[in-house]
Structure 1
């Protein structure tokens, strides 16, 4: 009995101690112009932004995390700048502890069932890579696992190629999907894995495997992702330390590190900002994996989607200035096609998906994968912001199956659109 008590105390200490840094941190919804909200990214942890078309205030609304030490200062700032603010959550650490308890419970249930993976929990980097290897071993004529390279901290970045012709039929279009560029967006790898599962295991739509070659990167930022699991649930960036001030402020925002108007946003040049763009374009090995995948298949790639969380949005170029690419109408039409398929399966409480130009829907951004892929020649490129409901990044595991199922419907609709126009 004494040993059991000690073990329980150790487990509770690990669970509760890991989230101590967010004890008393509160979440606030702040409304302002797109310019004002964009400025906050240099100094605060902005969890997400809500488009003005969806907000009651008529302005862009940001979900902001404030520590007890900075709360008074920033509430005064919001008031002085006529930015309406309301409290959303009282203690972030308590929310995290609840999330962790549910995940552990569901993982135990999944192991007891004998399943290698399930759609009601979250998995770490090693488990995700093991699942990819299992699929390649079981379906060698369809799945190839590529060991693309090592992350900054030496973790293997793997992706899958799904093809009935081993990528040798150059007449087929290619679809590229990545996930977890932002570490704390845990719901994105399950979506990527579910897409793989539907194409390979479930064989849900043979037309999509016969007619299209797929490249899917389920975990683009393994260092940041593992750090968010083991140390800091709210970690967003990579874990690199190859830039000035990296001892105090490690990591780079992978979705500001692409070579499209990189270096033109002053806020993104601050190493301590959550949107830090890095010391140079493509400085991050994780981002170079995505770059190389796209360039290797550039002549055939018709659709690129980067999975993010959260906000229920399909965002397209150009994010740096609000103008549209030459195929802007087609980008919008294809995005609406995917969004409509998702909305048909969505929960009643979910916001309908918004489809639009990233800068006009939210605010200006530079160095994104969405804009870079469009600039180098991929016709259809999107940032797909998945649902967070009222939970934001901390999506309870019981919602994972709903999100992966509805998102697959959207991806499948997009894939059929590609085939119809190829």
Structure 2
């Protein structure tokens, strides 16, 4: 029997994915201090490995990515020089360095797959699902109940649920293009999990992803889909079954309806209700410091700044001083610590696959899935700091955009040449007649 070793090419990306909290909890369950120490060790270690690997295989990068990587290293070097000059140490507060060193994960994944583009999305999808459900069943089994849903005991972190968007798009595409009904079942199953764990930001991000996915399918593929024909028959059956099942469940647990209504109400009134109001107050607390340091950010002074976000009930800081500031928004964090310069460094890679996809005439299904997901980071980042795994998927998306376009551009060029040849043959035939 011949073994397929292609799954080995998933390892570099998996090294980034395992830094998500659901994998960290599996490695050290019920030990928050141990989880923090483990994550801290992996984050720093992988940052060093990523930079070293990118330097060794720098020539693999496209000219644009070489330029972006050079600017990132220039910024990190400037931070190290500032740290040495003012504090006598090249890395006085690693917490600050990580805010930009995390970008190196994208370059690492991109550089590896630029030279070894043999990654099968199926392997990543099942790796994510295995990690997610092992976490739920072994570490957070209490979350699988109606009472957990109605009491908002989510258990699973928002970043872990957000990761499920990739499998959801994969199974949905597998149904659309291969007609596999089992894939449709899996897509509904994953979508239900996204809904059940009640991270409203993930709900909104998923809706945004579907809009981008639909537009890219309609405008950027040579394999158009009749969504109505594909979804109407199955959607009708699933809809009827869902209504029957939900009617039975809701008759026993009517409080579910109240909980869903409350969640949507929190989305509509984010400034005053739910965790959205909490984030809004945090943003207002740090806005003056962001405005005063808009271009360069506060960097090390930001780390030393006392916590500005206070609890009204006890008039005390929400977090402990001396451990940095823990923001619930990518935009607040990046502008607070690194200012506009740091945000532009992110945009250099964050927008790159999206702009390339818009300019490219035809996209593969892999490219569409990855670009749609990466675009949702601009939505998810409003309420949460972008998770570590996101940067790995971003690097994968950039590699896919640069590598897979060769096949399609060649296909388009050859198709055009064949059409031109047929027109010439036809013209000659008419002249002969």
TM-score for the superposition, normalised by structure 1: 0.23
TM-score for the superposition, normalised by structure 2: 0.23
Flag the structure with larger Rg. Answer: 2
More strand by share: 1
More helix by share: 2
